[in-house]
Chains A and B, each alone.
Chain A
């Protein structure tokens, strides 16, 4: 029997050069073809083992996510012994997570800790020569599991899930007592009770699921680029945000030559800041490299703080920057608010829905920047202390629970008997318990005895 196709990020979950999303299972090629389109038009389905193709990964709605290389390992000559596809894209958590998400949307299921290794083993693929590689995978798997367990076990997330489970357990144990002890005066299960219970759980789960993307922002931070023409105050802004002199700030334009990275908290949101070399046409070879890199960074940024010198009229370079930011989430920072305003503020306001006047030098206006940032990210009402879903696996489990609850609602509205609803409630519970690592059935049985007076 064939196992379901699984997917996971197989490189370290940290900012890095290249990130690899690996698929394994009989549908790997098909799933890859749904999200990856090669330049040559060749489909993974037709590729031979041990071949590669260059192309890009696209989201379901056709958005290009990243250039990528697809490597195919045909069964049985692969790590797991199944068809394996590896999609290498640019590193960084965001892109690789997005690619993984697309793979899951296209039909893969998230790999459990150590699952590739498990499959390799089940298919008799792993031998002593691979022992070293295997050991690495074990430790990676263990780490992931440990991290997830920590986040789930100690954090607010488990509390939040417990609350949802609590409601479902109440339903499940009532259903169970009602079905298993028909002559014991267990109160009738009312349709309304089920409908309400399912609805409440569904609402809370949906909220939890929405928290996944927001949560990731808080956890992993936003790749943020400070952009703007030379000497507009980018480095001063960076220093303001980091609180110390990280960039070299001078009177001369063009002093920031490489990309300086720093993570800062702005209104509680981690910004992975890159202060880029000013966007300026230059002859200086060193600075040229810096400028090219800056442009690339802007393209891949999750957030751009576009710095404009408010004390000067907008230059051609400023207008260029404005244009280049048309499709990137950005906040216009009109700097040098301590000096008289010369820039065309109405034009900036027209181009940027989010705009702040600020003095990077004095720090005046920084609260406004925080406010605008939260506004842009729509995180005003977000409280990470409520607990959030952290990993793709957790998200998928929560999603599975949600789907089971929807099935249960369907059974109710069709007018099917409650046993069909019961199995859905229990499916939801077992998905949520997979998330928190507990066993379900015993708990339901225990509750029947705690809450209902049953027995002959």
Chain B
């Protein structure tokens, strides 16, 4: 072993969480070393070649609004972009892009390489020990680093084990080495590890697919970028295709189900409910005649195609059989087989909302290690962990995002307050404030914070302030613009199936009508300034949903009020008289940071909260 020097922050893992954590901490002035088992796996997308999706698109927008990297890189290697859920309401509009996964990885690696204060280092971390306030990070080749903070972003590498039918072997994703020694080191630190699993479908050769039989799925025009920094116009460059499973697919799978490691009991890890394998879907929903799948390009310079919806851990020979039952895939040539991967992760109830281990100061977790699933969920946590590690070392107040601020805050609060029973995926239905937390206003919600923290450039900040100014102006303008009743106006109103007017009417009143839009009123709204489309979109949403947004804002005020009442971390809940046993146990385990959080723990009743408050008060008197 040799002394490899001192750093401020060690980031273990260079996936989506590790990247954001490393970049954020380095940009905030810390010296950072990002460790990866394989330098060619930086920012790897070992599952679907896409970024965003429902609620995940919100996360990417928020990461970008705070000064993270994911959105910019996704825009830079976008192949096809769609705004999902148009027509279902602004709260659930979600951006999703197919990306070039190799380009994504290359760009991210380059960004880390170019980042000041940041060292990117290939090396397997095999041991982690605590020395007073410092952490020692030891690599397989004997380098010993001293770090002020460590961020664990180990993904599926940690204790990784791959399953394909009867075959199973220790492995990270995409055939990379697993991190085989670190789990033991973590257990020595008192971290309780659990096994989760996830899976991915096969990749097949483009030229072996018969696209003539398949329905095409095009991107949306114009392309809306993820990043508020992407100012150039983006173009769709690829299409996806849709196909379906059929009775024969089902028959092949059912005939071989006993060979699935999941059903034979080989896999003990718990898989994500939302991302079931095809055999899972067929077993759980036996009445469903067919299941949809999407055929997506993995990149611009590769012929590998991803079969979304068809992950499996059945033996390779069975995979070939059932893939071949599908229309268009009759002669599909598999390049990489589908596999399931089992890995170690922590119980996020051991973390605080800064993602630091409650009992291990200076040690942070992010991404799949925290029990989540998904690139975007990982990146969001990496950013929060990186920011907080840096702020702690610099003696600054932690950055805690509450549920009303963002999907990021909701994600973290869910993880550290409710815990997880299977890999956690973000969904719009997880946010109770979703009419307020929209993807179109992520910058408004978070960029001021990103600026204050120091991750937003001067130029971007000025652009943001200008945008806000224009929005204010536009809000004023629509209030002050009155249209007299005219034939032209009324013919527009009638053609949009809304009642004509007989007296003057404010533009804002017209925009409130669900049937009308800026677009519909273009002809009469002659004084409209030349602002970016996003401003009109934002103003229109806020007008149309005014009442419902106001309802949610009132709820937010209520929530924040109790959220401000903090609970000291060293409370021994078992000694508090009057708490019901179940509540005391839950509180002891979660150790909430404030009263609001305590109230969200299942098993803690309002009566328990009262007891807690009274106890707190008494404690304040005697302390």
Contact B605 A181 (CB under 8 A): no
Q: Could you say which interface size class chain B belongs to?
A: 35 or more
| Contact yes or no, B292 A184, CB < 8 A | yes
* B288 at the A interface (CB under 8 A): yes
**A456–B275 contact, CB under 8 A?**
yes
Does B610 contact A138, Cβ atoms closer than 8 Å?
yes
Q: Is A442 an interface residue (CB 8 A)?
A: yes
CA distance A449 to B87 in the complex (A): 24
If A180-B429, A183-B292, A417-B87 touch, does A145 touch B605 (CB 8 Å cutoff)? yes
A155 CB within 8 Å of chain B = no
User: Is B552 interfacial (CB 8 A cutoff)?
Assistant: yes
B230 within 8 A of A: no
Known: A176-B429, A184-B292, A415-B515. A121 touches B614 (CB 8 A): yes
What is the interface size of chain A, counting residues whose CB is below 8 A from a CB of the partner? Answer: 61
Contact with B along A163-180 (1 / 0, CB 8 A): 000000000100110111
Q: B551's contact among A122, A175, A427, A455, by CB below 8 Å, is which?
A: A427
**Chain B residues, CB < 8 A from A415:** 514-515
B274 touches A453 (CB 8 A): no
**Is A82 among interface residues, defined by CB-CB distance under 8 A?**
no
**What separation, in Å, do the CA atoms of A445 and B311 have in the docked complex?**
22
Q: Does any Cβ of B come within 8 Å of A253's Cβ? A: no
The reply to whether the CB of B89 lies closer than 8 angstroms to some CB of chain A is yes
In the complex, the answer to whether B610 meets A419 with C-beta atoms within 8 Å is no
> With A138-B614, A180-B427 known to touch, is A418 a contact of B89 (CB < 8 Å)?
yes
> Which residues of A427-443 are within 8 A (CB) of B?
427, 430, 437-439, 441-442
Alpha-carbon gap, A118 to B615, bound state (A)? 11
Chain B residue contacts of A134, Cβ below 8 A: 614, 617
Q: Which of B58-102 contact A (CB under 8 A)?
A: 84-85, 87-92
Bound together, the chains give a CA A344 to CA B602 distance in angstroms of: 67
The answer to the question of A420 belonging to the interface, with a C-beta cut-off of 8 Å to chain B, is yes
Question: What per-residue 1/0 map shows which CB atoms of B531-547 lie under 8 Å from chain A?
Answer: 00000000000001101
Question: Is the pair B565, A122 in contact by a Cβ cutoff of 8 Å?
Answer: yes
Report whether A453 and B54 are in contact in the complex, using a CB–CB cutoff of 8 Å. Answer: no
A448:B429 contact, CB within 8 angstroms: yes
CB <8 Å contact, A453 and B85 = no
What is the CB-to-nearest-CB distance from A369 to chain B, in angstroms, rounded to a whole number?
A: 43
Question: Which of A124-132, A351-359, A379-387 lies at the binding interface?
Answer: A124-132
CA distance A126 to B309 in the complex (A): 59
Q: Is the CB of B274 within 8 A of A179?
A: no
A-side contacts of B435, CB under 8 Å: 419-420, 423
Q: How far is the CB of A400 from the nearest CB of chain B, in Å?
A: 11
How far is A127 from B621 in the complex, measured between Cα atoms in Å?
7
Q: Which residues of chain B in 293-315 are interfacial with respect to chain A, using CB atoms and an 8 Å cutoff?
A: 294, 308-309, 311
- For residue A179, which residue of chain B has the nearest CB? B92
Shortest Cβ distance from B94 into A: residue? A182
The digit string for A379-404, where 1 denotes a CB below 8 A from any CB of B, is 00000000000000000000000000
Write the residues of chain B forming the contact surface with A, with a CB cutoff of 8 angstroms.
48, 54-55, 84-85, 87-92, 272-276, 281, 284-285, 288, 291-292, 294, 308-309, 311, 418, 427-430, 432, 434-435, 514-515, 544-545, 547-548, 551-552, 555, 557-558, 560-561, 565, 578, 600, 602, 605-607, 609-611, 613-614, 616-618, 621
Which 4 residue pairs are nearest across A and B when measured between Cβ atoms?
A: A114-B610, A419-B89, A417-B89, A176-B429
A–B complex contacts, Cβ < 8 Å, 16 sampled: A114-B611, A114-B614, A122-B613, A127-B621, A128-B621, A141-B607, A176-B429, A178-B88, A180-B54, A182-B84, A183-B84, A407-B547, A416-B548, A420-B545, A420-B548, A455-B275
Q: Beyond A121-B613, A419-B88, A453-B285: 20 further Cβ-contacts under 8 Å?
A: A113-B607, A113-B610, A114-B613, A121-B616, A127-B621, A138-B610, A141-B607, A176-B429, A180-B428, A181-B54, A184-B292, A416-B89, A418-B88, A419-B91, A422-B91, A424-B548, A437-B605, A441-B429, A455-B273, A455-B275
